[in-house]
Amino acid sequence: MNKKSTELREKISHLVENILIELGEDVGRDGLKRTPERVEASLKYLTKGYQLDTEKIINGAVFEAEYDEMVIVKDIEVYSLCEHHLLPFYGKCHIAYLPNKKIIGLSKIPRIVDVFSRRLQVQERLTTEIAYALEKHLEPKGIGVVIEAYHLCMMMRGVQKQNSSSITSCMLGHFKSDSKTRSEFMDFIK
């Protein structure tokens, strides 16, 4: 680990320690002794998407193909942090695209979801970032992205509605202009 990285880790840990003190906690008690370091490591992991690049994630796994039917990857687990409260939101992401002589290695699609979900986010932006990244790399006839998520900022605080979920979508190309294509996608992910 380089000096700059070590200094950043120590700085974040110190800030977390100060937050705990301001909350009235005894940072010397047994259960909290290493909490600042654990929180720093956790935040670094939960926001690792800032260090990721879709080009490197895809790593050349876009292939020429004559396939022209809908490709769907559904029920991709999503975990992110709400940028307003730094509380988690989680759920499922469903992605479909209509190839235009290019297909992508299927494992790359959930990895692209992680690039954007492992950042401080709002669900609406997360949905569109995924769609536009896939559009950029595949140049498909259309893309559909739907995310259904549960937000702890709504469940644990504020309105405290434990059973409410939020659904967002981004439809591009044929998914936006052709209701039959959009309906077919929505039927597949029900």
Q: Are residues 153 and 76 in the same domain?
A: yes
**Span 72-85, pLDDT tens digits:** 999 999 999 999 99
> Among 146, 130, 148, 143, which residue's Cα sits nearest to residue 96?
143
181: domain CATH number is 3.30.1130.10
The verdict on whether 84 is a catalytic residue reads yes
Q: Tell me which residue range forms the domain holding 138.
A: 55-189
Whole-number Å distance between alpha carbons of 25 and 117:
31
- Cβ 72 vs Cβ 185: under 8 Å: yes
Instruction: Please pick, among 17, 151, 170, 174, the residue that the annotation labels catalytic.
Output: 151
Q: Are residues 133 and 150 in the same domain?
A: yes
**Span 10-68, pLDDT tens digits:** 999 999 999 999 999 999 999 999 999 999 999 999 999 999 999 999 999 999 999 99
Indicate the number of domains in the chain.
2
2 band by pLDDT with thresholds 50, 70 and 90: confident
Q: Are residues 95 and 40 in the same domain?
A: no
40: domain CATH number is 1.10.286.10
Residues contacting residue 124 through CB under 8 Å, at least 6 positions apart: 168
Q: Are residues 75 and 18 in the same domain?
A: no
Instruction: Please pick, among 25, 37, 85, 135, the residue that the annotation labels catalytic.
Output: 85
**Span 82-121, pLDDT tens digits:** 999 999 999 999 999 999 999 999 999 999 999 999 999 9
